Amino acid sequence: MRGPGYDAGMPALPPSLDPPRRVLLGPGPSEVPASVLQAMARPTLGHLDPRFLALMDEIREMLRGLFGTANGWTLPMSGTGSAGMETVLVNLLEPGDRVLVGVNGVFGGRIAEAARRVGAEAVEVAGEWGRALDPDDFRRAARAAGGSFRLLALVHAETSTGVLQPMEGWRELADELGALLVADVVTALGGTPVRLDEWGVDAAFAGSQKCLSCPPGLAPVSLSPRAVERLQTRREPVRSWYLDLNLIARYWGGERAYHHTAPVNLLYALHEACRLALAEGLEQRAARHRRLGAELQAGLEGMGLELRVPAGERLPQLTAVAVPDDVADAPVRRFLLEEFGVEIGGGLGPMAGNTWRIGLMGAGCTRANVALVQAGLRAALAAPVRA
């Protein structure tokens, strides 16, 4: 292929991009509505253009509604949900600080590891994978470890296992420990109710690609006034320049001081995704996820499949399914992708190879998709894909 300006020393140009259409029913990313994709195709503005600055204000206001908070420091970070996690930790922790972290899945473990990389001491409270955490276990761990803690951190919606963590009692425990309360709500935001102010959560982080049904690449975060005070009274500067909220808040707030070039078109997409979520109504949206998640889970159990999480602790939008002993994990997922165009996820950590993760998130949470993935699994289990 010879394109304009072709030089004999240059490689041939690849064909133009033409990705296949998939039904994304894994742990993320989720299906993206047409209007969100169309928003990304609108004219790119400068990141200090007055119209774009107004759009930034609208995004912040909508995110406050989704987070259930009046926090002024609520904004999307440029990066995925993991960047949101690092943002919270690197801004609120200093070397020598102590963190009490619940680990009942991959993402609790990531919080502990990221805290250690900031120079903090992470005391892990190990929980059973597939079960919710108990505040009393944290009390016992705190007594055994002695001393106070800067942060108490847990995962509200554990994507690796499909556990929905109840949030009652954690504010009281954080107060006992003298700690700020941190919650990972990456797979919760836009799918199950998030009520930061009601729960007393001081810092939370999410991702754009789960129940908000926006492409990956943005991480909404929110800090309470207590967390902001902690940030502004640090002994030393935040160790990450790029994730320093003292600097980024000046761009997202009143000063509009340049920090980095914002991902303008991706923020268009987030604006539309937030608008769609709020237009549907947060209670109605949560009820849709609960209703269809329960239908999927009942249908899977009706097929004789075992679910990893007890009924009272399941995430509606992410279901972990035990792979039957006589069935191979990867061939089933490949069959679904090739024959039905459906993507589901495999397990992580100790659930790798023995668990399927099925997501019903945001725009992908439909009755048609419930029927499609069940039909695909029936066909896969009847096909010669067993171990």
Cα–Cα dist 190/199, whole Å = 17
Percent of the chain with pLDDT over 90: 93
Digit-coded pLDDT (tens) for 311-331: 999 999 999 999 999 999 999
pTM above 0.85, yes or no: yes
Are 202 and 321 in a shared domain? Answer: no
Digit-coded pLDDT (tens) for 173-221: 999 999 999 999 999 999 999 999 999 999 999 999 999 999 999 999 9
Digit-coded pLDDT (tens) for 240-280: 999 999 999 999 987 999 999 999 999 999 999 999 999 99
CATH of the domain at 159: 3.40.640.10
pLDDT at 254: 79
pLDDT at 2: 53
Query: Is 18 a member of any domain?
Result: no
pLDDT at 215: 98
Of the residues 227, 260, 278, the one at which a domain ends? 278
Q: Quick check: 24 pLDDT over 60?
A: yes
Are 251 and 289 in a shared domain? Answer: no
Cα–Cα dist 275/268, whole Å = 11
Are 107 and 66 in a shared domain? Answer: yes
Domain span at residue 378 reads 23-29+281-382
Angle at 90 between CA 86 and CA 95, to 5 degrees: 135
Query: Is 14 a member of any domain?
Result: no
**Is 131 exposed, middle or buried, given 0-12, 13-18 or 19+ CB atoms closer than 10 A?**
middle
Query: Is 6 a member of any domain?
Result: no
Q: Which of 136, 177, 170, 142 shows the shortest CA–CA distance to 156? A: 170
The pLDDT of 43-57, averaged and rounded, is 97
pLDDT at 387: 42
> What residues contact residue 373 under an 8 Å CB cut-off, 6+ apart?
23, 25, 296, 336, 340, 342, 344, 358
> Beta 203-205 vs 218-223: how paired, if at all?
antiparallel
Are 93 and 236 in a shared domain? Answer: yes
pLDDT at 9: 73
DSSP run (H or E) holding 60: helix 50-67
CB 24 within 8 A of CB 31: yes
pLDDT at 11: 82
Of the residues 278, 303, 335, the one at which a domain ends? 278
Buried b (16+ CB within 10 A) or exposed e, 66-99: bbbbebbbbbbbbbbbebbbbbbbbbbbbeebbb
Of the residues 246, 278, 310, the one at which a domain ends? 278
Digit-coded pLDDT (tens) for 274-305: 999 999 999 999 999 999 999 999 999 999 99
Are 266 and 333 in a shared domain? Answer: no
Q: Quick check: 386 pLDDT over 70?
A: no
Q: Quick check: 28 pLDDT over 90?
A: yes
Are 231 and 285 in a shared domain? Answer: no
Are 198 and 294 in a shared domain? Answer: no
Query: Is 15 a member of any domain?
Result: no
Query: Is 53 a member of any domain?
Result: yes
The pLDDT of 81-100, averaged and rounded, is 98
Q: Quick check: 6 pLDDT over 50?
A: yes
Q: Partners of 158 in the beta sheet? A: 163
Are 302 and 221 in a shared domain? Answer: no
Are 249 and 288 in a shared domain? Answer: no
Query: Is 136 a member of any domain?
Result: yes
CATH of the domain at 328: 3.90.1150.10
> What residues contact residue 69 under an 8 Å CB cut-off, 6+ apart?
196, 197, 222, 224
Average model confidence (pLDDT) across the chain: 96
Are 290 and 267 in a shared domain? Answer: no
Query: Is 8 a member of any domain?
Result: no
Are 229 and 155 in a shared domain? Answer: yes
Q: Quick check: 131 pLDDT over 80?
A: yes
Total domains in the fold of the chain = 2
Are 308 and 364 in a shared domain? Answer: yes
pLDDT band at 69 (very low <50, low <70, confident <90, very high): very high
> What residues contact residue 138 under an 8 Å CB cut-off, 6+ apart?
100, 102, 125, 152, 173
Query: Is 1 a member of any domain?
Result: no
